[in-house]
Amino acid sequence: MKKLLFILGLFLVTNLFGSKIPTSSVVKIFASVSYFNYEFPWQAPSVYKYTGSGAIIENHQILTSAHVVGGANFIEVLKEGDPNKYIAKIKYISNQSDLAILEVQEESFFNDTKPLALNEKIAHRDPVTVLGYPIGGDSIATTTGIISRIEYTPYVWSKNNLLSIQIDAAINSGNSGGPVINKEGELVGIAMQSLKNASNIGYIVPAILINTFLKDVQDGKIDGLHFTATTTRTIENPTMKKYYNLKDEGVLVTFVDRNDSELKNEDILLTIEGKPIANNGTIDTKLGRVDYKIVLHSKQVGESVRLSVLRDTKIIEVSYKLKYADPLIKMELNQEPKYFIFAGLIFTPLTKNLLTALDKEKYAYEMLFYQQEKNAEFEEPVVFIKTIFPHSVNRGYTSNISVIEFVNGIKIANFAQFVDTINSSQEKYIIIDFIEKKRVILDRIEAIKSFEEIQKVYKIAQDRRI
């Protein structure tokens, strides 16, 4: 059965707890958020109102989920026992790890509050309590459960695969950003998402990643968690182990990002920071056996880790520098989508946002660019999207999301270059060739003149956002 995860929005609760619950450490968050539809990038955003929860931590900061406040135009917070809402703003946000820090303009908000201390020490079967605010009220409510799994899981908000803690606390949609505490009242994670169509299965961002985030922002900017396009695969098949002369250790490097000069295809990673990497890609940690990437995600971009690598039958030691490299097809968050209308045809960068909006059609495009990487000639795919504003200048043309390869024989590397190539052209015709072996030919002068009429007829504000 296909498992679907969904982000927790508003908190629907059950059990109330006793006096030991740190009510002075939990806040309710009200956010007015704008969302763009990437399938129709020229349209104005829709505005929604959401509520979520947050945890007060040291230095008068509120920790919450990025998806609670991402794209917010206006944020207010409310603390237990105070009828007044206070204006807050985003100080730092890491969409990658679905975490954000809010600051409140009025310092008096933090009177009679107590910051929660973080504790990374967790284990299977440990009891936890989830705190948050129920729909229709402003009082804190709680649910309890135990830690059932500690493993890597896709984060719905960022589409990144990161460490998460699965709990069986009876929570439903709505507790996003709320603290999850242990029996000592220490923060062990932030409520993030749950498993759709399954009862009592929730996921939290663990304290180990929260601490990485808090250390990251100390220099006043977000570098993010280590990420490159380099991929590895497990070596669990007996014949494969025999071929590489392995026993119980090692994972195979199957693709190397152009930024990862320290690695080569067919490398076998044997250890990381002295810890043996099992054939299934896990290492032994204080959290139990988890994916070896936890070592990369516990450190800061720019730091290095020690790898033992089997390369060409020899074991070598490699100092691997952590880095963040944008993927070829990005997930854009808290941004306005780019677009360019020319001759009533609409062009935009290919993003994960657009693929998500396309839903059923996205898999074909994911496979088209599977494991392709950025290079000097290809930094960002540009597409001709489905919608066309019908006009005499574009009669006969249709699109089903076509990827641009050339404009008047010039190889297109990114969206900005695409727009500039058309704007700067003095040719009579604009000839657009696509990867799918399609072609569009437009009269340049007629195409430029057409926008004035298209703008009036279709009520379009502008022909571009770049």
Q: Would you name the residues annotated as active-site residues?
A: 67, 176
For residues 149 and 290, the answer to whether their CB atoms sit within 8 Å is no
* Angle value at C-alpha 309, between 305 and 315, nearest 5 degrees: 130
Distance CA 89, CA 31 (A): 10
For residues 288 and 326, the answer to whether their CB atoms sit within 8 Å is no
* Angle value at C-alpha 94, between 92 and 95, nearest 5 degrees: 130
Neighbours of 252 (CB within 10 A): 19
18 HSE (CA, 13 A, CB side): 3
Supply 106's token pair: 């009025």
Distance CA 407, CA 404 (A): 8
- Tell me the CA distances in angstroms from 270 to 18, 262, 309, one per residue in order: 49, 15, 6
Burial class (CB in 10 A: 0-12, 13-18, 19+), 381: buried
